[in-house]
Amino acid sequence: MSKYKKSNSLQSTALQCERGGRVLFDNLTFELHAGEALLVQGANGSGKTSLLRIITGLTTAIEGDVLWNGRPITADEQAYQRELLFIGHQSAIKQELSVRENLRLHYALNGCGADSMVELAEKVGLRQRLGVICSRLSAGQQRRVALARLFLSEQPLWVLDEPLTALDVDFIAAIEACLQAHLANGGMLILTTHRGLDLGTATIRNLDLNESAKK
């Protein structure tokens, strides 16, 4: 039985994005359904992160719309934000707080009590680092703290910008298993990545922004 609605869908209609007076992509259209992943590809500067910010509602496209279940995401921005989890390229954690305190914030953001803090720390390989201030962690460890939200999220739509940056092979395998479970439960995934990613049997749609720029 699916965890999320089988009817969930996300689509764009003729998106145009401009940065610094240069059009990054134009007339960009895609469609995504429950249980599917969208892999956004393109050279550096092609607009991958800009597209993710448009999809999450953080940036507005010059033209076109993003539709969640057939309605523009601007129709009810708060309701849409409750449906998605966005983890950007930067770790976006509180550097001055400890690992434990950052994980506690994750629990609060997902509306659940921190009863299994140690279990979550174990999943991300930081059980022995709970009391360490995050500014003292390595880049890979900081990324683990940020990605801990994946193990708590109840949102159907996950948008991830280069989630595998600075991670070791073992933890990449753990993230792949988490993403596979999310998709198998009817979740949806949009991501950018420079390396291969095993998403199991899920349908993967590819969106190449280099091709869009040529149109």
Claim to verify: residue 75 and residue 168 sit in the same structural domain: yes
Domain membership of residue 171 (yes or no) is yes
State the pTM of this model. Answer: 0.93
Amino acid identity of 126?
L
Domain membership of residue 165 (yes or no) is yes
pLDDT beyond 90 at 210: no
CA 183 – CA 6 distance, rounded (Å): 11
Give the number of domains in the chain.
2
The residue segments making up the domain with residue 71 are 9-83+155-214
**DSSP E strand boundaries for the chain:** 9-19, 22-28, 31-33, 36-41, 63-68, 71-72, 84-87, 157-161, 188-192, 203-208
Domain membership of residue 42 (yes or no) is yes
pLDDT digits (tens, 9 = 90+) for 142-190: 999 999 999 999 999 999 999 999 999 999 999 999 999 999 999 999 9
3-state class (DSSP) for residue 69: coil
Domain membership of residue 148 (yes or no) is no
> Which two three-digit tokens encode residue 193?
């990545």
What's the confidence (pLDDT) of residue 83?
96
What's the confidence (pLDDT) of residue 198?
95
For residues 12 and 38, is the Cβ–Cβ distance under 8 A? no
Domain membership of residue 29 (yes or no) is yes
Claim to verify: residue 30 and residue 111 sit in the same structural domain: no
Domain membership of residue 122 (yes or no) is yes
Claim to verify: residue 99 and residue 64 sit in the same structural domain: no
pLDDT digits (tens, 9 = 90+) for 37-84: 999 999 999 999 999 999 999 999 999 999 999 999 999 999 999 999
CA 17 – CA 54 distance, rounded (Å): 9
| CATH code at position 65 | 3.40.50.300
Claim to verify: residue 138 and residue 97 sit in the same structural domain: yes
Domain membership of residue 2 (yes or no) is no
